[in-house]
Chain A
Amino acid sequence: MDHQRRILLKSTLAASATTMAISAGLLTPKAVWAAWNEAAFNAKDVNAAMTSAFGSTEATASDKVKLKAPDVAENGASVTITVDSELDKTQSISILVQNNAQPLTATFNLGATTEGSITTNIKMGKSSDVIAVVKADGKLYSTKQQVKVTIGGCGG
């Protein structure tokens, strides 16, 4: 029992060392992707995630950011979310789930020719506000919607 616990601890430590090496640029994968923002994704609440991801928690509520999500999701393991941005120069679209253990679910960095529209499936542990944050022309805009979850998707 205790032995297994040691192994588990060891492997977690090893894993975090690897991610640290990657974030330090020692093991940069040969590809074009942006650095995975570990601090933002591991943040435990929305404000901390926003600060790590965007350097600010202040996003202007905008009706030009449209969030399409079900009012009631029967299965929290797969909730379809669509974010449409009608803002000029939309640079990125992020999806945050307020009541998830790690609210920041995904950030989509868009190219110059990419339309401001993303659809994806996310997990939700329980009923929560879903927040879409759009970065356009260097400014932050957001909109949110409550989604009720009947069966959670994050527990065992």
Chain B
Amino acid sequence: MANTSSTIQVRSSIKKGVATIKCLVSHPMETGMRKDKKGNLIPAKFIQNLTCEHAGNVVLDAELNGSVSTNPYIKFQFSGAKDGDTIKINWVDNKGDKDSAEVEIPTKRKK
């Protein structure tokens, strides 16, 4: 599912076996507390879980609340990575919508 229409964008690099992953997800992250112009509450819609797997291990298992910014950005690092490894990122929101992406690291810039 790693294609241009994915909601998940990843930038990564590897230095001395430590991978740095910068992950940006397109998502509205509505808290459910905001009101629209007519004064009606906008229903909550936010990512609750985001995971990253590398070589069969879960390296990051994030639980998020609606108070994480719109289009969440998460940067983290893990060791034991080598060139050409793939990582798999999954997210699911409170409405059950989800997406996943498999990305080869380090990310090669496409221009």
Contact = CB atoms under 8 A, between A and B. Distances in A.
Interface residues of B, number: 45
A151 interface: no
B69 A122 contact: yes
A62 interface: no
Given A31-B92, A36-B48, A117-B77, A122 B58 contact: no
Nearest to A42: B65
B77 to A, nearest CB: 4
A19 interface: yes
Given A102-B67, A114-B77, A154-B34, A36 B49 contact: yes
B58 A111 contact: yes
Contacts of B40: 4, 8
Q: Is the interface of B mostly helix, strand, loop or mixed?
A: strand
B63 A37 contact: yes
Contacts, number: 136
Interface in A105-132: 105-115, 117-124
B5 interface: no
Interface in B50-70: 50-51, 53-54, 57-70
A111 B60 contact: yes
B64 A106 contact: yes
A82 to B, nearest CB: 8
B68 to A, nearest CB: 6
Nearest to B35: A156
A113 B82 CA distance: 13
